[in-house]
Every structure is written in structure tokens, then in C-alpha cells.
Amino acid sequence: MSETNNLYDVIIIGGGPAGMAAGLYAGRANLKVALIERGMPGGQAATTHLIENYPGVESVDGPSLSMTMHKQAEDFGTEMITGDVEKIEDAEKKIKKVITSRGTYLTKTIILATGAEPRKLGAPGEDELRGRGVSYCATCDGAFFREKELVVVGGGDSAVEEGIYLTRHASKVTIIHRRDSLRAQKILQDRAFKNEKINFIWDTTVETIEGEGKVQKLQIKNTKTGETGEYPCDGVFIYVGMVPNTGFFSDLPILNESGYVVTNDKMQTKLPGVFAAGDGRETVLRQVVTATSDGAVAAFYAGHYVELWEEDQE
């Protein structure tokens, strides 16, 4: 492969909102840019039935917003490549190699926009009823459950905070936790305990999620007594952690203990020319709006890096 003819200014790995925003901004800056995505564009956004909290858009289904972002990036010159990225080589050098199932690509900069996925319970029925009562995002889906009875699974900050949020819509929220006490911050615990719409089931796990076309009930089990039972509900929100999609570059010294990419406010990692954006980055909020912001910032500073790279070659 000729380094002259096949060298990109920017390669973006990941086609969610962060990656597509990075592609749009890099393309508009007249950079030679490619975006590598293993599947349909949009990431988690593409699996969301309705998005109502993206500024300037009153409401839109996730797949439609994703395809609009994809077209915008493509219209401004982003080359779309479908394939699985297997490895990044020479990440510290000026010319980096992105090795995929379809070949090797050379680039001056890389933007890692690989995202993160909600950790699943692994319970039967979870995958089948996702989007039909199984959710991982109260902000995204809570409004669809007005005056319904909901279950939140988990005991950390996210579970408790999102459980409190769901009481804005639901008639009742039950937090099911496998331990006998919450792990969330005390201020969140206090708010939850004082909320008349929230009750708790302790020392309990969700064994199966059941329903005809939508969530109707859970099979639960007490972790101390082994007692099992059935719990009716209209939806279940799962908050047992997130899993960053960073496995294929876990050998690079840019991850924190949880596997998220560490960056500064310019989206730069500690490796020259390697940036990160979106849900796979160490951040406090993981929403479409924050991911697109990250992508724009990463593309902007990647462009600056390319300018310096080219000056060094003169």
C-alpha cells in the first residue's frame, strides 16, 4: 500500500453520533477522512425508538436521526467503510495503521468513537423484549411509561438517579437490588427513600423477563433464601453498568481502570494524533448531544494536528 496515495488525514473508528459528527466536521474542513463502522450507523441512538431531547429537533426516531447524520457526513466527503477494526498499530508514530477485516488503512490521526454498551443482565427475555419494555435509558424512554408501573434493576448512582427521574412519569417505581443496601451516593439514597412513588426489593435478582410482545412480568429470586416469585410490571430499566467498546485497542496506554479512554478537553489522548469522542470516553454524561459535541471538538483538534504534521514534512 502506497503511503502517499492511501494516507488519510483522519480515520474515525465508530459510526455513532460522535463518529458521524467528527466526520461532518472533518469533511467540512477539507480533510481526507474515512469512517469505519462494523454495522448500521447510529450506535445506541439507532436502537432508540424516539429521541425528544436533541436540541432543535422536537422529536425523531433514532434510526431517522442516525441516517440524517450519516448522510451529512457523507455529503461533506467522509468515506464510509464497513468492517471490523481488529487492531491499531504504530499508534505513537506519525503514520498509524488501522487494521480491519477488509484491509489496512494508513492515517495521520485517529478518532476513537467506539462508544459503550449497557451491561446486560443476561436474563432470558432481555434481548427479545428490548425496546418493548426493556430499556437502558430513562431519559430516552421514560416518557413512554406515563402512569405505568416500572422496575429499575441496580443499586448504584445511575439506578437510583434514573429511578427518581422515572417517577416523573410512572405511577410506581420499584428498585430491585441484589444486595441489602444501595451503593449510590447518600444524597441520592435519601431522595429515593423520601420519594413516595419508589419502593425497594432487596437481596433479589431478576431471573427472567417475560411478556407477549411487551414486558408484563419478571421472575425474581431472593439471593439469601432462594425463594422465587413473580413480579408484574410494564417495563424494566437496567442499570448494572456500562461496557466500553475498547477491547481491540486495550493494549494502548490510554484507558482508565474501567476501560474508558482518557482524554483532555480537546479530546486528545496521551498518544500524539490519537483522539477520542463519545460514550467510550471517560465522561460524566452519555447522550447524543454530548457525543456529537465531543466529535466536533475531536475533529477540530485533529485538523490542527494534521496542519502541524504537514509542516513537519516540509
Query: pLDDT (tens digit, 9 = 90+) per residue, 220-262?
Result: 999 999 999 999 999 999 999 889 999 999 999 999 999 999 9
Active site residue 141: yes
Q: What is the mean pLDDT of residues 105-128?
A: 94
Measured at the alpha carbon of residue 74, what is the angle toward residues 275 and 295, in degrees to the nearest 5? 25
Predicted pLDDT of residue 1: 40
Choice among 9, 140, 233, 279 that is catalytic: 140
Percent of the chain with pLDDT over 70: 96
Same-fold call for 7-117+242-312 versus 120-238? yes
Predicted pLDDT of residue 100: 94
- pTM of the prediction? 0.75
| pLDDT at position 150 over 80 | yes
Choice among 9, 137, 233, 234 that is catalytic: 137
- Written as one letter, the residue type at 280 is G
| pLDDT at position 3 over 60 | no
Three-class secondary structure of residue 15 per DSSP: coil
| pLDDT at position 314 over 80 | no
Q: Architecture of domain 7-117+242-312 in CATH?
A: 3-Layer(bba) Sandwich (3.50)
Q: What is the mean pLDDT of residues 194-220?
A: 98
Nearest to 267 by CA among 298, 291, 290, 236: 298
Q: Architecture of domain 120-238 in CATH?
A: 3-Layer(bba) Sandwich (3.50)
Bridge partners for 98 per DSSP: 88, 105
Predicted pLDDT of residue 138: 84
Please report the DSSP string for 215-249 in residue order.
--EEEEEETTT--EEEEE-SEEEE-S-EEES-GGG
Q: What is the mean pLDDT of residues 263-292?
A: 94
| pLDDT at position 49 over 70 | no
- Render pLDDT for 53-79 as a digit per residue (tens, 0 to 9): 888 888 887 788 889 999 999 999 999
C-alpha dihedral (282, 283, 284, 288), degrees to nearest 10: -130
User: For residue 162, what is the DSSP state?
Assistant: H
Least confident residue range of 67-71, 123-127, 146-150, 204-208: 67-71
Q: How confident is the model at residue 48 (pLDDT cuts 50, 70, 90)?
A: low
Distance separating alpha carbons of residues 312 and 131, to the nearest angstrom: 51
Measured at the alpha carbon of residue 18, what is the angle toward residues 112 and 268, in degrees to the nearest 5? 45
- Render pLDDT for 254-275 as a digit per residue (tens, 0 to 9): 999 999 999 999 999 999 999 9
Choice among 141, 234, 279, 294 that is catalytic: 141
Q: Do 291 and 18 contact (CB within 8 A), yes or no?
A: yes
| pLDDT at position 123 over 80 | yes
Active site residue 233: no
User: For residue 262, what is the DSSP state?
Assistant: P
Q: In the Cβ-directed half-sphere of 301, how many Cα atoms lie within 13 Å? A: 20
Using the structure block, give the residue that is written with the C-alpha cell 427475555: 125
Question: Domain residues of the chain, as ranges?
Answer: 7-117+242-312, 120-238
Mean pLDDT of the chain: 92
- Chain-centroid distance, C-alpha 72: 21
